[in-house]
Amino acid sequence: MKIVLISGLSGSGKSVALKLLEDLGYYCVDNLPMKLLPGLIQYHLDNSEVTQLGISVDIRSRIDINEAGEQIQYLREQGYDIEVLFLEADEAVLIRRFSETRRSHPLSGQTMTLLESLQKERAWLSPLRELAYCIDTSKMNAQQLRYTVQQWLKHERKGLLVILESFGFKYGVPTNVDFLFDMRSLPNPYYDTELRPFNGMDKPIQDYLADQPAVQEMINDISSFMNRWLPQMQVESRSYVTIGIGCTGGQHRSVYVVEQLAERLKGHYELLVRHRQLSVLAER
């Protein structure tokens, strides 16, 4: 049985993700207490033809975070195919969304402001986030979120999933990365007016950066780091690791480096490549 748990911050898009699972044929339950999950699984194994479960778990059920982690680990040890998806967004974005919908936060009241409620929720859910594949929905609309979740669901995970993500520092640092590498010290093709219109997936940029010794040294150093530490994460039963590669605008250097790293890791790990500023997400 395939089980997908969806959690995350209020206002981050959990209902959109759960509706997508429902559209894909999952039997979905919103706001299920974690202690009821084993019974729900057993019921469907014994009494129905349901093979895919989508469960929303969040602060409304006042779940015990430690208990949730133990339940997830136990189910995985029992051989269940269980994945955890955690959605989040910048606090300013979440506050704007609550203002637009005129809904109240589950923790808000006379004693806490909306911002304080969001901060408490983020801290409270952080242990569950460590078990999950994280998506930052700050710059996504509902359609983009559905597409991103659908691409993630396509992966048949048999080991560690490595997400390589390029981004531009001028647009903000992704909050969901485990490791972050800064490419802003490398030669920048942006200052060549003939190269400026291209991006790191185009041959002119690739040729330019391939000829820069510092770029190749940086790629070699990051590769050495990953070769040393990714196997250790696999041993520790990590399901996902996200590696952020940033440059100023997220168009040239970071995109090129991500593509080169993906080539080196291909065949060793399951890969998902994101180029945030190019709006590109692809399996490798």
Q: Is 266 labelled a binding residue?
A: no
Q: Is 203 labelled a binding residue?
A: no
Q: Is 19 labelled a binding residue?
A: no
Q: Is 14 labelled a binding residue?
A: yes
Q: Which of 138, 30, 155, 153 is nearest to 87 (CA)?
A: 138
Phi, psi at 15, each rounded to 5°: -65, -35
Q: Is 61 labelled a binding residue?
A: yes
Q: Is 139 labelled a binding residue?
A: no
Q: Is 8 labelled a binding residue?
A: yes
Q: Is 12 labelled a binding residue?
A: yes
Q: Is 138 labelled a binding residue?
A: no
At residue 54, what is the residue type? G
Q: Is 60 labelled a binding residue?
A: yes
Query: Binding site for ATP, residues?
Result: 8-15
Query: Binding site for GTP, residues?
Result: 58-61
Query: Binding site, residues?
Result: 8-15, 58-61
